[in-house]
């Protein structure tokens, strides 16, 4: 027993020592909906730095070392909160209550039809017109044995954007000392509802605003994907990637086949599809969904998740009209997203893994973006 106590004391001291090297700074970022919002900068023991705001849980900057230890900001974003409020690109944000699309902006739960906000043609995208990316969250900084970060909380009212049930949410962002950006999601409800949360950073591992992402090499651990119709709603088929430009089982440059004459690529004007991850049946363990390598800088990123799918979006809607935080223009395909999630339109697809959350259950999931060099 004494030995155990001794070990614990050392561990506690060690944690304290590590935590002294982690810095968390807070500064005001402006006002939204009459509430002041802040920017928090967390740096880990390796000097990697993450800046986030409690408006939409947005990651505004992520400074990652390259193979020569040169740190660059690898996510797209703005300098001021107003630009985040005014624009609909979902830069760096938490997405919910339902990530991606709900066909016809409606679904049925317990025999009752619910209509949610239509904000993309006939469909609902990313939680509606004022999704979790557009609300002010409460935030509290923390340090623990793995690193430092923020705990965000928000209560989404019954009926918000048309969704039933009061959803009580907690999302933690941890910048670990292994250079990981880790997201843990928790939610409970008082009525049956839909819950499918994701993260929407646009990455460019060569630095934000520094060219397009077509030369990045991508591996996706999914041998099937969900083809879509003309409004980007899955047809319901789980299609093999074999022999298609959707085969990323082996690492391939994003740009290698993006212009090919493929119906699915034409419909989405590039990649904007969900991959069915090859995770062991029934497992909710962290699974390597994707790896991205940027050959010039040597920066690499692994994406791990407990979710069944990942949306790979190649920044097709970026059109050169936006100027980013360092004054550079964000042109076509200057960033990509890897959004871990349940498959799009799951609320209307009984054969897809469920997105239904019931009272008494806890929605609990994790996604990790891990950075390293090679
Ligand atoms: C997701 C969607 C895309 C697009 C982006 C944001 O990736 O699937 O179609 O809406 O978000 O613009």
Query: Which entry of 126, 199, 200, 216 is annotated as an active-site residue?
Result: 200
pLDDT digits (tens, 9 = 90+) for 36-70: 999 999 999 999 999 999 999 999 999 999 999 99
- Looking at the CA of residue 344, tell me the nearest atom of ligand 1: 8
Q: Does domain 15-373 have CATH number 1.10.10.10?
A: no
Q: How far is the CA of 187 from the centre of ligand 1 (A)?
A: 23
As a whole number, mean pLDDT of residues 337-365 equals 98
Percent of the chain residues topping a pLDDT of 90: 94
* pTM for the predicted model, two decimal places: 0.96
Say yes or no to pLDDT of 4 above 70.
Answer: no
Q: How far is the CA of 88 from the centre of ligand 1 (A)?
A: 10
Q: How far is the CA of 345 from the centre of ligand 1 (A)?
A: 14
Spatial CA neighbour of 75 closest among 201, 200, 223:
201
CA distance 280 to 352: 16
For the chain, domain boundaries: 15-373
Grade residue 125 by pLDDT with cuts at 50, 70 and 90: very high
Say yes or no to pLDDT of 5 above 60.
Answer: no
Which residues line ligand 1 at a C-beta cut-off of 6 Å? 89-90, 100, 125, 232, 272, 311, 313, 317, 337, 339
pLDDT digits (tens, 9 = 90+) for 306-323: 999 999 999 999 999 999
Grade residue 8 by pLDDT with cuts at 50, 70 and 90: low
Say yes or no to pLDDT of 15 above 90.
Answer: no
Grade residue 141 by pLDDT with cuts at 50, 70 and 90: very high
Q: In this structure, are residues 187 and 166 in contact, taking their beta carbons and an 8 Å threshold?
A: no
pLDDT digits (tens, 9 = 90+) for 231-265: 999 999 999 999 999 999 999 999 999 999 999 99
Say yes or no to pLDDT of 12 above 50.
Answer: yes
Instruction: Return the residue whose CA atom lies nearest to atom 12 of ligand 1.
Output: 89
Supply 373's token pair.
């060099």
Instruction: Return the residue whose CA atom lies nearest to atom 7 of ligand 1.
Output: 313
- Looking at the CA of residue 120, tell me the nearest atom of ligand 1: 10
pLDDT at 1: 40
Q: In this structure, are residues 344 and 352 in contact, taking their beta carbons and an 8 Å threshold?
A: no
CA distance 271 to 213: 12
Q: Is 339 a catalytic residue?
A: yes
56 dihedral zone (left: phi>0; alpha: psi -120 to 50; beta): left
Ligand 1 site-directed mutation target among 88, 100, 213, most atoms within 8 Å of CB: 100
Q: How far is the CA of 176 from the centre of ligand 1 (A)?
A: 28
Grade residue 3 by pLDDT with cuts at 50, 70 and 90: very low
Q: Is 200 a catalytic residue?
A: yes
Greater confidence, 88 or 118?
Answer: 118
pLDDT at 82: 97
Q: How far is the CA of 274 from the centre of ligand 1 (A)?
A: 11
pLDDT at 294: 98
CA distance 201 to 215: 18
CA distance 213 to 206: 8
Grade residue 17 by pLDDT with cuts at 50, 70 and 90: confident
Say yes or no to pLDDT of 106 above 70.
Answer: yes
**Quick one: three-class SS letters along 296-357?**
CCCEEEEEEECCCEEEEECCCCCCCCEECCCCCEECCCCCEEEEEECCCCHHHCCCCCCCEE
As a whole number, mean pLDDT of residues 136-147 equals 96
pLDDT at 247: 98
Spatial CA neighbour of 198 closest among 111, 258, 284, 274:
274
Kindly write down the DSSP assignment for every residue of 4-43, as one continuous string: HHHHHHHHHHHHHHHHHH-EEEEEEEEEETTEEEEEEEEE
CA distance 249 to 269: 22
Ligand 1 site-directed mutation target among 118, 119, 123, 125, most atoms within 8 Å of CB: 125
Say yes or no to pLDDT of 281 above 90.
Answer: no
Grade residue 282 by pLDDT with cuts at 50, 70 and 90: confident
pLDDT at 372: 98
Percent of the chain residues topping a pLDDT of 70: 97
pLDDT digits (tens, 9 = 90+) for 184-215: 999 999 999 999 999 999 999 999 999 999 99
């Amino acid at each position: 027993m004494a030995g155990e106590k001794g070990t614990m004391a050392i561990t506690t001291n060690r944690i304290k020592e590590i935590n002294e090297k982690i810095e968390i700074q807070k500064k005001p970022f402006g006002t939204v909906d009459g509430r002041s919002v802040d920017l928090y900068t967390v740096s880990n023991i390796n000097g990697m730095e993450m800046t986030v705001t409690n408006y939409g849980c947005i990651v505004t900057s992520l400074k990652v070392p390259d193979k020569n230890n040169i740190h660059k900001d690898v996510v797209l974003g703005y300098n001021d909160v107003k630009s985040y409020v005014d624009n609909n690109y979902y830069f760096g944000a938490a997405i919910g209550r339902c990530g991606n699309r709900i066909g016809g902006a409606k679904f049925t739960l317990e025999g009752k039809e619910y209509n949610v906000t239509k904000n993309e043609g006939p469909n609902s995208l990313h939680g509606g017109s004022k999704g979790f990316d557009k609300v002010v969250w409460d935030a509290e900084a923390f340090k623990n044995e793995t690193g430092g970060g923020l705990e965000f909380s928000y209560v989404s009212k019954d009926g918000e954007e048309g969704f039933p049930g009061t959803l009580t949410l907690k999302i933690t962002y941890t910048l670990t000392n292994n250079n990981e950006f880790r997201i843990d999601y928790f939610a409970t409800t008082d009525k049956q509802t839909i819950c499918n949360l994701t993260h929407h950073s646009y990455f460019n591992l060569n630095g934000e605003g520094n060219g397009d992402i077509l030369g990045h090499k991508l591996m996706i651990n999914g041998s099937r994907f969900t083809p879509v119709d003309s409004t980007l709603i899955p047809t319901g088929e789980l299609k093999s990637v074999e022999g298609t430009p959707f085969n990323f089982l082996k690492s391939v440059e994003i740009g290698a086949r993006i212009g090919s004459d493929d119906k699915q690529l034409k419909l989405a004007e590039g990649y904007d599809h969900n991959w069915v991850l090859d995770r062991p049946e029934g497992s909710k363990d962290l699974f390597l969904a994707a790896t991205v390598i940027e050959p010039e800088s040597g920066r690499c990123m692994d994406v791990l998740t407990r979710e069944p799918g990942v949306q790979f979006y190649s920044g097709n809607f970026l059109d050169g009209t936006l100027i980013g935080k360092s004054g550079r223009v964000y042109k076509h395909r200057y960033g990509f997203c890897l959004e871990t999630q349940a498959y799009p339109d799951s609320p209307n697809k009984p054969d897809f893994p469920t997105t239904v959350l019931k009272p008494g259950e806890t929605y609990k999931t994790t996604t990790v973006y891990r950075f390293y060099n090679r």
